[in-house]
Amino acid sequence: MIRASVVIPVFNRAALTRACLDALLGAPLGVETEIIVVDDGSTDDTAAILTARLAGGAPLRVVRHARNAGFATACNDGAAAAGGEYVVFLNNDTLPRPGWLAALVAEADAHPGAAVVGAKLLFPDGTVQHAGVVVGEDRNPHHVYAGFPADHPAVNRARTFQVVTGACLLVRRSVFAAAGGFDTAFRNGHEDVDLCLRLGQAGWAVRYCPASEVVHLESATRERRSAEASANGRLYRERWAARVEPDDVRTYLEDGLLRIAYADTHPVRLSASPLLATVHDGVRERSSERLLRARAAQVAELLGEVVRLTVGGASRAPLPGAAGGDADDAPAPALAPAGADADDELLDALVAVQRIVAARQEPPEPPGLTGPAYRRLAARVRAVVGTATPAGSTVAVVSRGDDDLLDLPGRTGWHFPADAAGLWAGYHPADSAAAIAALDDAWRRGATHLAIPGPSRWWLDHYAAFTGHLHRCHRSLIDGDDCAVFSLAPGGRP
């Protein structure tokens, strides 16, 4: 019995299709599966690549269109040829990770009231591209938490949304057929939003499954289609703007990234995680906010351009300024602006992109944070801990598994949270209660201090009750941008 039919709509970008199929077929899928590629009138080498795959015995079927009909028609025709209980639509600009499909199917099996299940999509640098779609106060759909760290608790909760993206989307085949499939009135945009909202109106749930991870080279296939995008936006707003319910603020509140404190009189006090938002008074923008926005745009543009060059056939060549060896040892790329100290964010992005390109040809590197700016940060963290704690201390470090942060001269560094063997637990606590329990466990095992390096300072915002516990029951020694250090009180109490 076929559980899942994976349908891949394809229009040109043969290099992407090749990489997607390599990733798809390179690891066991975990469920009985068929693969259907819909060649939507490609004019490049796509047909030749698919013919060669078929001749080589690859387990896939091909549906061919004489001319390009668009995303909705390609997906609908692929679903019509499918025989699985579930149809899984997968963009060709994706690289599925092992276990992705089995996780989607397991989520659907566990929630029979859900017609749609979406995956966690990651940018090539490992940050979040899709973790569900929220409807904003402007009544438009927005990818929630785009750019967040992939291990942040807010993006690792399986939950219900109004919409998930069609780049990797499981749908019950019978429900999809009964709904008439994707609406071809949309042209390469908003088809997934419209389908999810229609199924939601019919009483079906839409789920997000973080256990299913797929890398999405989103910018590689997204060309400027201003006329199409405007038409799709107008059609969406005509059909749905007056009917959808904004849910973005509710989501931020539920995840503890936005908090509201009330007094007897106004104004209320709003607190937002710096990962989530900056504050703008509607009149002027702070220089730090301008810099943050500019750097985010630079990194996104740079990453998109490198991905485009990579999938266009330039992946074998080193990046500008690279020596062709290990990415960590390569000189600063020529694209980096002068003044490295002032542009650590951009340098980090360049090094990360070098590693992504190199990884296509070489075995993957062990997990961990790297890059020149990060190494400088790790050195500053060691200096802060050395200043704040006496020699012989045992310091539990929120480390995300990075052993470099445990190299504390004259002190013993522990991963936090840790498993029974003292290794990083591999996940962050589910909530403040779990974080407090992990801290108590570290204290019982002999930890005298807790260090929270700058990249993990979101802990202090996200785990509000944990932060309150630290300040009530222990002692804050240093609360700096590079690192926060706490002295753990004897007995775990003040």
Please give the Cα distance from 231 to 22 (Å, whole number): 35
Structure tokens at 65: 């269109």
pLDDT of residue 292: 63
Residue 251's pLDDT is: 96
In a domain, 42, yes or no: yes
- Which amino acid is located at 436 in the chain? I
Q: Do 175 and 29 have their domain in common? A: yes
Select from 309, 331, 359 the last residue of a domain.
Answer: 359
Taking the CA atoms of the chain, what radius of gyration do you get in angstroms?
Answer: 24
Q: Is 296 within the bounds of a domain? A: yes
Same structural domain for residues 291 and 395? no
Spatial distance between the Cα atoms of 420 and 56, rounded to a whole number of angstroms: 48
Same domain, 342 and 395: no
What are the tokens at 124? 């090539």
Q: Are residues 164 and 308 in the same domain?
A: no
| 123 and 203 share one domain | yes
Give the CATH number for residue 180.
Answer: 3.90.550.10
The verdict on 221 and 297 lying in the same domain is no
Q: How many CB atoms lie within 10 A of CB 67?
A: 7
**Could you tell me if residue 329 is inside a domain?**
yes
Q: Are residues 346 and 378 in the same domain?
A: no
In the three-class reduction of DSSP (H, G, I as helix; E, B as strand; rest coil), residue 94 is classed as strand
**Predicted pLDDT of residue 367:** 39
Mean pLDDT over 74-85 rounds to 97
Last residue of a domain, one of 224, 240, 256: 240
Quote the number of domains for the chain. Answer: 3
Identify the domain boundary among 296, 331, 359: 359
Look over the chain and give the mean of its residue pLDDT values, rounded to a whole number. Answer: 83
- 340 confidence band (pLDDT: 50, 70, 90): very low
Q: Is the pLDDT score of 163 beyond 60?
A: yes
Task: Give the range of the structural domain holding residue 396, as residue numbers without chain letter.
Answer: 373-492
Q: Kindly state whether residues 96 and 154 are assigned to the same domain.
A: yes
Most confidently modeled of 234-238, 315-319, 323-327?
234-238
pLDDT 10s digits, 80-113: 999 999 999 999 999 999 999 999 999 999 999 9
Residue 425, by phi and psi: left (phi above 0), alpha (psi -120 to 50) or beta?
alpha
Percent above pLDDT 90 for the chain: 60
pLDDT at 471: 92
CA-CA-CA-CA torsion sign (255, 257, 258, 261): positive
Question: Does residue 264 fall inside a structural domain?
Answer: no
Contacts of 376 (CB under 8 A, 6+ apart): 344
pLDDT score of 204 more than 90: yes
Mind listing the pLDDT tens digit for each residue in 427-460? 788 888 989 999 998 998 899 999 999 888 889 9
- What is the pLDDT, as a whole number, of residue 365? 37
Whether 271 is in a domain gets the answer no
